[in-house]
Amino acid sequence: MRQKLSLQNIMVQFRQRWENLPDARMPNNNTKYAIVDGVLAAFAVFFMQSSSFLAHQRLLQSKKGRNNARSLFQIEELPSDQQIRNLIDPLSAEHFQTDFWMLLDELKEQQRLLQFRNDLNTYAIALDGVNFFSSEKISCPKCLKREDRTGTEHFYHSAITPVFVKAGQTQVLPLPPEFITLQDGSEKQDCERVAAKRWLAQHHKHFDDYSITYLGDDLYANQPLCQLIAETYRQFFIFVCKPESHAGLYEWIDFLGQTQSLEKVSQRLWNGKYGEIWQYRFSNQVPLRNGSDALQVNWLELVISNEDTGQILYQNSFVTNHEITVANVTQLAQIGRTRWKIENENNNTLKTKGYHLEHNFGHGQQDLANVLATLNMLAFLIHTIQEMTEPAYRRLRQALGARETFFDDLRALTRYMLFDSWDDLFTFMQEGLEIASEPP
């Protein structure tokens, strides 16, 4: 019996779900191609890590009435590259949020999310913003605007891209993005902080059964957001907290340091070449800002230095609503530092490891850019899930080494050969590489 998270089953489910997407075309318009086929065709581009719609559309062209577009991606009629954009542009990126949760809920059902639970019995979700489009000429109603020093106006798109992260865990699990856009009825341009609040308001119920620790940079260490997470959603946070943006808090820290009131923990670790000294300082119940209504938070600092030279190798400080103790300060600092995984394993992967997030696949006049970015992130999530759940996929990735080689082979094979299913394709690849498959 095929696993629920097998590629073949996921694509069948997507076909069924996306057949219900709204179609704004008038009945007398040319409706040769269904909306679902346009969405599936766009998704296939990102899943196969093709660099252009046109090249991918040619790759999947029909061969004597049969093609991989139908057998692998459930596409009934393959639109042209421009037709794909026209079909998708009127859609909203919000239509695809439930697809992320469908996959993540199944991971939870299979208890595979447990590998992301950390030593404090909580799940860490890193929050960060990412820009994925910029132009001086092309724009749409969803574009943000900025002027550079010369006065030149730039149009761009940006989003919050939350991900499950864990120290020592190779993969990250992308969650539905929240796009930073011009908001109706607001004179001010949207910002990352406001988008983060919208994301929490919309998705927090998915974590009623979880203990979540939200991670973020100094931008997130502000009272309204911290209070929202701690008091409204009853969850945790660990945010970077810099002295230059939190003057009131660091007046307290300086005073506590001068009066020897900060608790300290020191460790010596060997990095393979030389000894490192890891020094922690922390204090519970300090005000996040000045004022009588200031939120009380817990503060910790980590400084790593070379044992021989005294050179500082790393220094950072965080605020959290986790109580800090001598027993857990190292774990809290480790969790706080995994925030960087959203940059390294998520945003940089989407930009530089074949997903071409910053490439302009089509901007449109409505929501095309955001929909395409969402499908791109969804493709990344599915590849991650396959690596976690499907032995054949995992063996092929390991055998081929570089990510680029794996996708080059996928594109080459589907260009010249027809496969009845993803299982058949992966079996063919394993046999060609003489990789033994696991017994049923």
Residues 20 and 76 occupy one common structural domain = yes
**Three-state SS across the chain?**
CCCCCCHHHHHHHHHHHHCCCCCCCCCCCCCCCCHHHHHHHHHHHHHCCCCCHHHHHHHCCCECCECHHHHHHCCCCCCCHHHHHHHHCCCCHHHHHHHHHHHHHHHHHCCCHHHHECCCCCEEEECCEEEEEEECCCCCCCCEEEECCCCCEEEEEEEECCEEECCCCCCCEECCCEEECCCCCCCCCCCHHHHHHHHHHHHHHHHCCCCEEEEECHHHCCHHHHHHHHHHCCCEEEEECCHHHCHHHHHHHHHHHHCCCCEEEEEEEECCCCEEEEEEEEEEEEECCCCCCCCEEEEEEEEEEECCCCCEEEEEEEEECCCCCCCCHHHHHHHHHHHHHHHHHHHHHHHHCCCCCCCCCCCCCCCHHHHHHHHHHHHHHHHHHHHHHCHHHHHHHHHHCCHHHHHHHHHHHHHHCCCCCHHHHHHHHHHHCCCCCCCC
Number of structural domains the chain divides into: 2
Shared domain for 61 and 140, answered yes or no, is: no
Q: What is the pLDDT of residues 268-315, one digit of tens each?
A: 999 899 999 999 999 999 999 999 999 999 999 999 999 999 999 999
Q: How far apart are CA 167 and CA 333, in angstroms?
A: 11
In a domain, 137, yes or no: yes
State whether 196 and 47 are in the same domain.
no
**Domain annotation covers residue 398:** yes
Chain segment 405-433, per-residue pLDDT in tens: 988 898 888 888 889 999 999 999 999 88
Q: Are residues 201 and 329 in the same domain?
A: yes
pLDDT(137) > 90: no
> Is 330 part of a structural domain of the chain?
yes
Predicted structure pTM score? 0.90
Residue 402: what pLDDT?
Answer: 80
* Four-residue CA torsion sign, 55, 57, 59, 64: negative
CATH number at residue 121: 3.90.350.10
Answer yes or no: is 384 within a domain: no
| pLDDT value of residue 80 | 82
Residue 35 and residue 24 in contact, taking contact as beta carbons nearer than 8 Å: no
Question: Are 112 and 218 within one domain?
Answer: yes
Q: Is residue 182 part of a domain?
A: yes
- Shared domain for 115 and 159, answered yes or no, is yes
Last residue of a domain, one of 295, 327, 348: 348
Regarding whether 82 and 100 lie in a shared domain, the answer is: no
In this prediction, residue 351 carries a pLDDT of 58
Tell me which residue range forms the domain holding 51.
7-88+390-432
Is position 365 within any domain? no
Residue 185's pLDDT is 40
* 243/157 same-domain check: yes
Last residue of a domain, one of 348, 382, 408: 348
Last residue of a domain, one of 314, 348, 382: 348
* pLDDT tens digits for range 357-413: 655 677 878 889 899 999 989 999 999 999 999 999 999 988 987 888 988 898 888
pLDDT for the residue numbered 345: 63
- Residue 188 pLDDT: 47
Question: Do 99 and 246 share a domain, yes or no?
Answer: yes
Residue 344 lies in a domain: yes
Average pLDDT over residues 333-354: 72
Arithmetic mean of pLDDT, 104-126: 93
pLDDT at 342: 66
Same domain for 69 and 99, yes or no, is no
Residues 84 and 106 in one domain: no
Q: Is the residue at 279 inside a domain?
A: yes
